[in-house]
Amino acid sequence: MKALNGFLDRFHENLRLTDRMIADARKSSENKKLDSRARIQYLKILGAAVEERERILLDIKAHLLGRGESGVVREPSEVWDYNSEVEFERCFQNMLSPWTHEDLKLKCEDCGVWNENVTHRRFHHPYPEEDENYDLCPKCYDKKMNESSVENEDTAVAKAATKGDLRTIVQGARLTIKLLRTLPVDERITKLTELLADTPSVAPGMEATYETYRTMLQKELDKAKRTKDDKQLANGSGEVPKV
């Protein structure tokens, strides 16, 4: 028996052995030289082998297509918009092809070398810059990490926030305040206090803009507290309402 190369080859091997079992059981169940009891037993084996093959095929299908939110194995039409059955059959036949170490090699995007040491690497950057993704060999990964460290040192002073950033923050704060003013004063104070207590991480260069946002919320909180105090003084002053 051929040595197994990997996980997908085990699917293939299980399917091949089950097909052989089905063929042997079918042949034996039709053998006139056997008595009826023996042929019935082979028919039972045949039925069990067919069910096992259906289970293996379903496992392969789930491996290739995945499962939906309900846990049901997805259909080819849910994965491919056009020629879904043909595309699935191509994918299925490709999976049944024996894997070798050549299939496990990836190409380094920097130096172009093909080997099994090449792997996916992600380089994280502070917002709003997008993360970078590369397939790199260990040597090129170390090189890129060193270059990234030098760039970080050179850009220690972050870019200042643009006028557009400031305008967006101010508009967001005004909208928040407008919505909060529809609430009773006690609820308004609670919500504003919660917003000011939240201290998220701020992207480099956005500190001043974020402080502008907090200042606007703080002023609205102070105003809400004064309104509450005025109402309490009016209710506790003992003034007789004018008739």
Q: Are residues 183 and 129 part of one domain?
A: no
Q: Are residues 232 and 195 part of one domain?
A: yes
Does residue 135 carry a pLDDT above 70? yes
Which residue stretches of the chain are H helix? Answer: 7-29, 36-65, 76-79, 84-96, 138-154, 163-180, 185-197, 207-236
| Boundary residue ending a domain (154, 173, 194) | 154
Judge whether 2 lies within some domain.
no
Lowest mean pLDDT among 35-44, 123-132, 163-172, 175-184: 163-172
Does residue 172 carry a pLDDT above 60? yes
Judge whether 216 lies within some domain.
yes
Judge whether 242 lies within some domain.
no
| Boundary residue ending a domain (122, 154, 186) | 154
- What pLDDT shows up at residue 3? 54
CB neighbours (10 Å) of residue 107? 14
Contact predicate 193/241, CB 8 Å = no
Judge whether 1 lies within some domain.
no
Q: Are residues 110 and 86 part of one domain?
A: no
- What pLDDT shows up at residue 51? 93
Mean confidence (pLDDT) of the chain: 80
Judge whether 43 lies within some domain.
yes
Tell me the average pLDDT across 47-65.
90
Judge whether 243 lies within some domain.
no
- What pLDDT shows up at residue 76? 92
Query: Rounded CA gap, 177 and 56, in Å?
Result: 59
Beta-carbon contacts of 95 under 8 Å, excluding residues fewer than 6 positions away, are: 8, 11, 12, 60, 63, 64
Domain count, the chain: 3
Q: Are residues 211 and 149 part of one domain?
A: no
Judge whether 60 lies within some domain.
yes
Does residue 53 carry a pLDDT above 60? yes
Lowest mean pLDDT among 88-92, 128-132, 166-170: 166-170
Q: Which of 22, 96, 24, 14 is nearest to 56 (CA)?
A: 14
Name the residue with tokens 């690497």.
Answer: 121
Q: Are residues 42 and 123 part of one domain?
A: no
Q: Are residues 227 and 186 part of one domain?
A: yes
Q: Are residues 85 and 30 part of one domain?
A: yes
Judge whether 31 lies within some domain.
yes
Q: Are residues 208 and 171 part of one domain?
A: yes
What's this model's pTM, rounded to 2 decimal places?
A: 0.45
Residues of the chain with pLDDT > 90, as a percent, come to 15
Measured N-to-C along each axis, helices 84-96 and 7-29 cross at an angle, to the nearest 10 degrees, of 90
Q: Are residues 116 and 92 part of one domain?
A: no
Domain range for 120:
105-154
Beta-carbon contacts of 19 under 8 Å, excluding residues fewer than 6 positions away, are: 53
- For residue range 189-202, list pLDDT tens digits in order: 888 888 788 776 66
- Dihedral in degrees, nearest 10, Cα atoms 213, 219, 221, 226: -170
- What pLDDT shows up at residue 240? 46
Tell me the average pLDDT across 185-213.
76
Query: Rounded CA gap, 94 and 89, in Å?
Result: 8
Residues of the chain with pLDDT > 70, as a percent, come to 83
- What pLDDT shows up at residue 49? 92
Q: Are residues 125 and 176 part of one domain?
A: no
State how far the alpha carbon of 87 is from the alpha carbons of 16, 53, 79, in Å.
Answer: 22, 22, 9
Lowest mean pLDDT among 44-53, 175-184, 216-225: 175-184
Q: Are residues 176 and 145 part of one domain?
A: no
